[in-house]
Amino acid sequence: MVKRWNTAKQVAEKAWEMGRSDPRKIVFSAKMGLALTLISFLIYLKEPFKDLIRYSVWAILTVVVVFEFSIGATLSKGFNRGLGTFSAAGLALAMAELSKLAEDWQRLMIIVNIFTVGFCATYAKIYPTLKPYEYGFRVFLITYCFITVSGYRTGEFLNTAINRFLLIALGASVSLGVNICIYPIWAGEDLHNLVTKNFIGVATSLEGVVNHYLQCVEYKKVPSKILIYQASDDPVYSGYRSAVESKSKEDALMGFAVWEPPHGRYNMFRYPWKNYVKVSGALRHCAFTVMAMHGCILSEIQAPAEKRLVFRSEVQRVGCEGARVLRELGSKVKKMEKLGPGDLLFEVHVAAEQLQRKIDQKSYLLVNSESWEIGNRPIEDEESDPQQEGKFLEHKSRSEAVLDLRMVEVPHSWEGNVTLADNPPTDASPNMFRKELSWPDQIYQKSNPVAKEGQESKTYESATSLSLATFISLLIEFVARLQNLVDSFEELGETANFFDPLDQRPPV
């Protein structure tokens, strides 16, 4: 009993929270209540029309079915319903006239007709390009069958059709009136906000990923929800995930938004909603690299912390600048403003360039030189330029001298040798022989369950430094993809007639 009470309390709290966070939902519910109330005023109808109540079901049906959250959805459903009803009524009347000619076979003909129409309409309904009109086909079928069947009973095909149509028109006008005139909720506005939100989400994820990576945050156990790509609380993950996942939502909203008349800030016929979806698609293309970077954190292959630290400030800067660009674009989309005169990407390109240079200089950190086939760095260098690079070299050489003591591991040669052909031929054969011997040994270890774990970790161990290279490379790829995003944004700005920030300036 107490438990139930608690559950009820929780549900009530959640419901309250839902209303508080999006008051439009409360307004929508109230509007629905109002529309139904208006329709039920039918009960006040006096005599000559009193008979209409018998058909009141059509008006109620129309209100409940057509009344959707956004104006666009309401209009598109209303249109579907109207079109379905009209064409079905026309067809049914024509068929009725035809079947009257059949005299004795009338009933049979009606039934055959219903089968044929049912088959064709259903087949058309599942035809891919007609998917959006699915609802219209349903209405078509209902109307056709109803008029045919009930018309047969009364013989008043036309009367049935007209009454039905009147009440549907009444229901539709009540719902459209209430829905559009009182606090309209626009699908286009929702689409606009969704795109803006995606920008913020990806920017947050990017920052999170870069910071986590530099702080060497590791998942003790990767949340299983991430492994099977389900929603999870992790803010880094949910940021890009919601941008990636919102595709179908965007398409649906766009489908509704195109039905909406020009309104508010979207004051233009044929408003380019498509371009919002395009911008969001380009953002998604960027989000995929953020996702891949996050993969570097999720991976069991982790670059050592000290190596990450070397690139810390550059990586951090690229991350910050990248996120800044995303936020900037997001706020431009929100404010519906064109790009300013400067190059938005300038800073992030400089940062990426700087990172690139740093890598160029320090790429020895990204690889394991200890097992290079071409031999390790000689222990004592000639120190040809002692002033500039001497100390550095000495330091490096010593550290490698230690590494040199380990056995050089060389891979098995089955196919490996073939591709070596485009390197100059070497006298590597003695080496090969050693490999051939050591390989079966490892195979054996592998099939030995105790040794397996160790063997595997050894395999991935040397990949750790490459993982850093991957992260950085993905970050740079992210920056490269920003151009595409900016291009889509500019296209949107042009087609949607975004406001030019330069116009605001006082004339010089």
| Contact status: 261 vs a second copy (CB under 8 A) | no
d(CA 372, CA 287): 36
The HSE-up count of residue 165 (CA atoms within 13 Å, CB side) is 18
If one asks whether residue 269 binds a second copy (CB under 8 A), the answer comes out as no
Query: Is 360 among the residues that bind a second copy (CB under 8 A)?
Result: yes
- Interaction between residue 349 and a second copy (CB under 8 A): yes
Residues 367, 372: Cα–Cα separation, whole Å: 10
CA distance 224 to 237: 13
Size of the site for a second copy (CB under 8 A): 164
| Binding to a second copy in span 198-257, by CB under 8 A | 226-230, 245, 247-248
Among 463, 495, 499, 500, binds a second copy (CB under 8 A): 463
Binders in 80-139 for a second copy, by CB under 8 A: 107, 110-111, 114-120, 122-124, 126-128, 138
**Nearest approach, Cβ of 507 to a second copy (angstroms)?**
26
Nearer to a second copy, 204 or 467 (CB): 467
CA–CA separation, 51 and 28 (whole Å): 32
Least separation in angstroms between CB 496 and a second copy:
16
Per rule CB under 8 A, is residue 357 in the interface with a second copy?
yes
Query: Residue 260, SS3?
Result: coil
Selected from 47, 104, 233, 380, the binder of a second copy by CB under 8 A is 380
The residue among 216 and 367 lying less far from a second copy, judged by its C-beta, is 367
Distance of CA 175 to the CA centre of its chain: 32
Shortest CA distance to 173 belongs to which of 98, 245, 67? 67
Q: Which CB atom, from 258 or from 367, has the smaller least distance to a second copy?
A: 367
For residue 348, the one-letter residue type is V
What's the angle, vertex CA 427, arms to CA 421 and CA 432, rounded to 5? Answer: 85
Task: For residue 478, give every residue at least 6 positions away whose Cβ sits within 8 Å of its Cβ, in sequence order, or none.
Answer: 206, 286, 289, 290, 293, 322
Nearer to a second copy, 203 or 479 (CB): 479
The single residue among 87, 211, 232, 313 that binds a second copy, judged by CB under 8 A, is 313
Q: Does 162 bind a second copy (CB under 8 A)?
A: no
Q: Is 178 in the site for a second copy (CB under 8 A)?
A: no
338: Cβ contacts below 8 Å, ≥ 6 apart: 332, 490, 493, 498, 499, 500, 501
Among 64-72, 88-96, 253-261, 492-500, the segment contacting a second copy (CB under 8 A): 64-72
- How big is the chain, counted in residues? 508
| Whether the Cβ atoms of residue 303 and residue 467 lie closer than 8 Å to each other | yes
Binds a second copy (CB under 8 A): choice among 173, 215, 267, 423: 423
Residues of span 28-57 touching a second copy by CB under 8 A: 28-30, 32-37, 39-44, 50, 53-54, 56-57
